[in-house]
Amino acid sequence: DETRHLVNAANLALMKPGQTLVRGRNAALYSKHLFSGFLRCGECGGAVTVVSGGYGSPRYGCLHSSKNGREACANRFTIRARVADATLLAGLRAELLKPETVAHVTALLAIELNAVIDQRPALRDRAEAALCDAQRRLQNLVTALEEGAGGATLRDAISSREADVQRLQGELEALAEPLERKLAVMPGWVRQQLDDVAGLLTEAPERTKAEFKRLGVSFTLHPVREVPRPYLRAEGTTSFAQVLSGQYSSSPTTDATDPRRAR
């Protein structure tokens, strides 16, 4: 099962509701607004995107409500895109760098690494058998070439078998690596990886949006109608396990850690 976490985000102050709708391509990929395409309405579940302000002062709001009126969705709250983007990004970066996040991702990776360690004897046996078979097949092709057989097809087959031998030798070398020592240094390494991702989120919007998609970032904005000033409460989810996805090949594991919620 995919591990998902709820991400901290500060309350967002409200401004006046919008009147117009901005249409375009997939906002998660093409919008210049950082979180456009990653926001949902807490009342109707529809998309929250730029609905007013244009290039002067764009504002996020419920697209369904903006397009179809209060009868479709009562959430008429909007917020300046630059305010929401800065607040949500700060919350996401802070969550990435929390000690609890480092500990959680380290635990996931340790489970995966230990699974690989347990599987190593069987993996090594299979790799050694495959290597022997590839070397035998390669030798048969070389012998045929030496005995006068020729042609581009035979030479291509030899090149393919040589590549197989090289790949399998690399696999055996990797299986000989002492992974147990990595468990001791893993927390520091995970912390550095998370720090790198947090740093990436300050780069160009297109790269940041690509990282949002990789991490499965999604925020839901809930209108809170308090007096004297209403506000939006942001709740977000992401899969921090994706930060280190594919580091080791092992069977899928199920995370038993309870998700953390903040409002």
The secondary structure of residue 243, as a DSSP letter, is G
Quick one: CA dihedral 52, 57, 62, 63, positive or negative? Answer: positive
With bands split at pLDDT 50, 70 and 90, how would you rate the model's confidence at 59?
Answer: very high
Query: Do 12 and 85 contact (CB within 8 A), yes or no?
Result: no
The model's pTM is 0.58
pLDDT attached to residue 54 = 66
Distance, in Å, from the CA atom of 85 to the CA atom of 95, rounded to the nearest integer, reads: 15
For 115-147, what is each residue's pLDDT tens digit?
777 777 888 888 899 999 999 989 988 888 887
The pLDDT tens digits of the residues spanning 169-193 come to 988 887 777 666 666 667 787 888 8
Q: What are phi and psi of 11, to 5 degrees?
A: -65, 145
d(CA 5, CA 60): 24
Supply the pLDDT for residue 187.
79
